[in-house]
Amino acid sequence: MLNQLRGLRNVAHSTMLNQLRGLRNVAHSTILNQLRVSTQNTNHIRINVHNCPEPFEAIGVGCYYISEKSLNRADAEAECASLAPDGSTSGLAVLSDCHQHGILWNHISLKWDYWLGGSDEAAEGDWRWSSGDEILRGAPFWFPGQPNGSEMENYLSLSKNGYFADEAGTIHQGYICQLM
Ligand SMILES: [Ca+2]
Ligand SMILES: [Ca+2]
Domain map (residue ranges) of the chain: 1-48, 57-179
Nearest ligand to the C-alpha atom of residue 120:
1
Q: Can you name the residues that pair with 157 across neighbouring β-strands?
A: 115, 165
Q: Which residues neighbour 60 within 8 Å (Cβ) at sequence distance 6 or greater?
A: 48, 99, 100, 103, 104, 107
Residues 6+ positions from 72 with CB-CB distance below 8 Å: 169, 170, 171, 172
pLDDT number for residue 30: 44
4: confidence class by pLDDT, cuts 50, 70, 90: low
More confident residue, 13 or 102: 102
Compare 168 and 111 and report the one with higher pLDDT. Answer: 168
Say which ligand is closest to the CA of 154: 1
Q: What is the CA(106)–ligand 2 centre distance, in A? A: 23
CA 113, distance to chain mean position in Å, is 20
Which ligand number lies closest to the CA of residue 149?
2
CA of 152 to the centre of ligand 2 (A): 9
pLDDT at position 12 is 54
Q: What's the 143 CA to ligand 2 centre distance in angstroms?
A: 9
- pTM listed for this prediction: 0.72
Ligand 1 centroid to Cα of residue 125, in Å, is: 6
Residues near ligand 2 ion, CB 5 Å cutoff? 148-149, 153, 165-166
**Per-residue pLDDT tens digits for 35-75:** 344 434 443 444 345 689 999 999 999 999 999 999 999 99
Handedness of CA 13, 15, 16, 20 (dihedral sign): positive
User: Quick one: average pLDDT of 156-179?
Assistant: 96
- Coil, strand or helix at 30: helix
CA of 121 to the centre of ligand 1 (A): 6
Residue 165 has pLDDT above 60, yes or no: yes
**Interatomic CA distance for residues 80 and 68, integer angstroms:** 13
Give the residue-averaged pLDDT of 91-103: 94
Closest CA to 68 of 176, 158, 179, 163: 176
Q: Judge whether 72 and 172 are in contact, CB under 8 Å.
A: yes
Expressed in angstroms and rounded, the spacing between residue 170 Cα and the centre of ligand 2 is: 13
Segment among 47-56, 123-132, 160-169 with least mean pLDDT = 47-56
Pick among 3.10.20.440, 1.10.287.90, 3.10.100.10, 2.30.30.40: CATH of 57-179: 3.10.100.10
Ligand nearest to the backbone CA of 152: 1
